[in-house]
């Protein structure tokens, strides 16, 4: 089973369309309504709501076999650090980092039990290099990079891999 967050975005949506041709896929979108297809289930879930994540896992637990998570959900606000509202800092970290953390924590027991799992976080070169006007986004992606490295070291012994794809500008 492939689980894609941020499935309504450009890359997420294209991955959903391609991967659901031959694989069982659950596509998660917060705002846009996507269409189910032969092997793909589209769900509107707020990743900031832990109860909704728990309900997703509970409802589809039987289908969650050999799980691959593709974490593409992202939030970014442009602004200079000195002027960045703390509420926007929290919103950015909540989606870009904490939602990834909670989703993985919720699914790890299943992966450990199956002795198999794939976690792929999508990040940005901005997480390593920084960029004018994107300081908080960069910080949230840096946190994700460190988290990812730790996940791979802690859970590799269970057959679980955790990797990060750092995208550039496009």
Region label for 130, one of left (φ > 0), alpha (ψ between -120 and 50) or beta (otherwise): left
HEC string for the chain: CEEEECCCCHHHHHHHHHHCCCCCEEEEECCCCCCCCCCEEEEECCCCCHHHHHHHHHHHHHHCCCCEEEECCCCCCCECHHHCCHHHHHHHHHHHHHHHHHHHHHHHHHHHHHCCEEEEEEEECHHHHCCCCEHHHHHHHHHHHHHHHHHHHHHHHHCEEEEEEEECCC
Q: Is 155 a catalytic residue?
A: no
Q: Which residues are paired to 160 by β-bridges?
A: 117
Q: Catalytic: which of 84, 102, 137, 169?
A: 137
- Just list the catalytic residues: 137
């Amino acid at each position: 089973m492939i689980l894609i967050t941020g499935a309504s975005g450009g890359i997420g949506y294209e991955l959903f369309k391609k991967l659901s041709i031959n694989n069982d896929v659950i596509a998660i979108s917060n705002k846009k309504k996507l269409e189910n297809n032969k092997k793909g289930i589209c769900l509107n879930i707020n990743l900031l709501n832990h109860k909704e994540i728990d309900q997703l896992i509970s409802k589809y637990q039987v289908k969650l076999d050999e799980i691959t998570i593709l974490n593409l959900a992202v939030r970014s606000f442009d602004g200079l650090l000195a002027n960045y509202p703390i509420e926007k800092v929290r919103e950015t970290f909540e989606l870009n980092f904490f939602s990834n953390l909670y989703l993985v924590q919720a699914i790890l027991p299943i992966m450990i039990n199956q002795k198999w799992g794939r976690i792929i976080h999508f990040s940005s070169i901005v997480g390593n290099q920084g960029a004018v006007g994107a300081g908080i986004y960069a910080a949230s992606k840096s946190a994700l990079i460190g988290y990812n490295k730790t996940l791979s070291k802690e859970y590799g012994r269970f057959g679980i891999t955790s990797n990060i794809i750092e995208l550039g500008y496009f």
